Amino acid sequence: MSPAGAIEEGVRALIVCSSTECFPELPSEEIATLLVDLEFTAVELAIHEEGPTWVRPSEVLADLEHAYNECRNTRRLNVVALSVDHDVEGEHYYEVFAACCKLAKALKVIPLVVPAAELGTPFNAEIERLQELVKIASFEGCSVALKTQIGCMTEDPDTAVVLCDHVKGLGLSLDPSHYITGPRQGKDFSKVIPYVKHVHMRDATKSELHVRVGQGEVDYGRLVSQLATANYKHALCVHVPSIEGADHRSELRKMRLLLESLL
């Protein structure tokens, strides 16, 4: 199978990948080498304007070919998702996003993970933004996966579902930790499962957004079963930041093995 075919197949099948956001202190070449050493076969690339990133959205707009080459330099890790975050205003916002969608199409990546608007944003304004993002992504054969996140409109599963119902084609990037730790903790979030197009995985408690693997309250088996029932066939993305006093590589390996054991 060709590399492109392998990527397409990887996107269609339920697999375990890792986010490059797990390693904010490392350059991209070291991240790829580390993930290969940890026996990951796929990766979600951060395409963020601020902070650690594989390539910045403004760079994608300025030189798509260069950005494509940078994103292909992953030590043969299949790129299965892009996390896109850029802080610009007006029409230029959509111009930059369109360039990232072109990059995703060139990489044969379907889901683009994007942040939801902060709490307090007018509902209609967020609907208009999301409709335009979905329209741009659909033109390139991609999809928009809105992050479920504390402090954003998607921190409430009911609101997340309403957003998806109002914007045809919109999906969610589910991080269950934000429903376990956040102000909506204890609320059933199974209603979001049919809208999930990407998943971020860590462990969490009601008081801590991230704890060592196995010490939190995320029911991985139940979640994977719910996703399977909803015919989810994309990636389970390990999204594990380092914890003081814990071996980060060991935590990543444990999460990968745990998720793979459930597939």
Q: Where residue 8 falls among pLDDT bands split at 50, 70, 90? A: very low
Specify burial of residue 70 (Cβ count, 10 A radius: 0-12, 13-18, 19+).
Answer: middle
CA distance 35 to 37: 5
DSSP state for residue 152 in the 8-state scheme = B
pLDDT band for position 13 (cuts 50, 70, 90): low
Mean residue pLDDT of the chain comes to 93
Q: Is the pLDDT of residue 89 over 90?
A: no
6 pLDDT tier (thresholds 50, 70, 90): very low
Going from the C-alpha of 194 to that of each of 15, 84, 157, the distances in angstroms are: 18, 22, 12
Helix, strand or coil for residue 2?
coil
Above 60 in pLDDT, residue 188?
yes
Per residue in 210-240, pLDDT tens?
999 999 999 999 999 999 999 999 999 999 9
Its pTM surpasses 0.85:
yes
- Reported as a pLDDT band with limits 50, 70 and 90, residue 67 is very high
Count structural domains, the chain. Answer: 1
- Lowest mean pLDDT, pick from 3-12, 14-23, 29-38, 155-164: 3-12
Report d(CA 55, CA 252) in Å as an integer.
23
Distance CA 58, CA 96 (A): 7
Find where tokens 């197009």 sit: 197
- The CATH number of the domain where 202 resides is what? 3.20.20.150
> What is the average per-residue pLDDT within 180-184?
92
pLDDT at 2 over 50: no
Which residues form the domain of 122? 3-262
Smallest Cα–Cα separation from 85: which of 115, 124, 58? 115
The rounded percent of the chain whose pLDDT value lies above 90 is 89
pLDDT band of 192, cuts 50, 70, 90: very high
In order, the DSSP letters of 81-92 are EEEEE----THH
Task: Assess whether pLDDT exceeds 50 at residue 9.
Answer: no
Q: Which two tokens stand for residue 6?
A: 């392998």
pLDDT for the residue 11: 37
Q: How confident is the model at residue 174 (pLDDT cuts 50, 70, 90)?
A: very high
For residues 20-48, average pLDDT: 96
